[in-house]
Amino acid sequence: MTRTELVDETIDWFAANARPLPWRAPGTSPWAVLVSEFMLQQTQAARVIPRWEAFVERWPSPADLARAGDADVLRAWDRLGYPRRALWLRRCAVEIVEHHDGRVPATREDLLALPGIGPYTAAAVASFAFGVPEAVVDTNVRRVLARVEEGSEEPWAPNAARDLAAYRALVPAPPPDDATAVRRANRWNAAAMELGAIVCTARTPACERCPVAERCAWRRAGYPAGPTAGVPRRKQARYEGSDREMRGRILHELRATTTAVPLDALHDAVVRGGHDERFARALASLEADALVVVDDGAASLPS
């Protein structure tokens, strides 16, 4: 299988096996695509779907979200996680209204200038919303490229130069006037990401369902273990009993009301029995992140 065949086989597989994620539906606006990319950061698609659907129904354009208050946005974000993303998204909407006439910009450079948007998100929005054939490389794509092309079980660490070189080895930059090549590059972006997400997974790859298994250098080499094989994984800190859990409890209480809550009452509502020193730490960190306002002995969501 040549590299051209590898790309085309992956695209064909995607056409038949892609998950019906709502932000992939024809006619989805660039704004709705951008919202999905914010929500999908470090969050599984299944958790994002209901929040995304409610969010874009309530705020279907950047202007709609720009007029909203931070408190309303945080309530709509609910327990999606990493709530600072909600505030960055609203600030992004404000910038789009003030500097782009309310329309999501189409170029990677303009997207990168917006709050909360980094290189990956800029490339993804340009490709998925506007059909600009940027090189979209996330962890899933790195893992596919590392295994298929380099015979390595594990993806390399994010590196812009290496990401682009590995991507372009498979998908050279198409001429702007070649609509077929441009469309193919954009389809590869979605297909490679999907392949890494549901087949070429980190721990239990389903090689028997992989459309490019015969090309895979890692498979042909007998699945050699990566350099971290046998090395105990760094355990993620337990959520239960953590400051993160306490932050979540505080936000949950404040989302449920439109008035400021006295700190003593807030402590009693979120601390289950006795005194918990996590409360002060969590509240201070939420205030530092501009997710909570503390004033005159009471706490509330930002206005």
Residue position matching structure tokens 């994010």? 158
Q: Collect all residues with Cβ–Cβ distance below 8 Å to 95 and sequence separation of at least 6.
A: 113, 114, 115
Residue tagged active-site, from 5, 9, 37, 153: 37
The answer to whether residues 124 and 176 touch, using CB atoms and an 8 Å cutoff, is no
User: Annotated catalytic, 53?
Assistant: no
Nearest to 137 by CA among 108, 111, 163: 163
What does residue 110 show for φ and ψ, rounded to 5 degrees?
Answer: -65, -35
Residue 250 CA to residue 242 CA, distance in Å, equals: 13
Which pairs from 48-57 meet CB under 8 Å and 24+ separation? 48/80, 49/21, 49/22, 51/76, 51/77, 51/78, 51/80, 52/22, 52/23, 53/22, 56/29, 56/31, 56/32
Closest alpha carbon to 286 in 269, 268, 263? 263
Q: Which residues sit opposite 261 in a β-bridge?
A: 299
Query: In the beta sheet, which residues pair with residue 196?
Result: none
CA distances from 111 to 124, 128, 278 (A): 10, 13, 38
Which residues participate in catalysis according to the annotation?
37
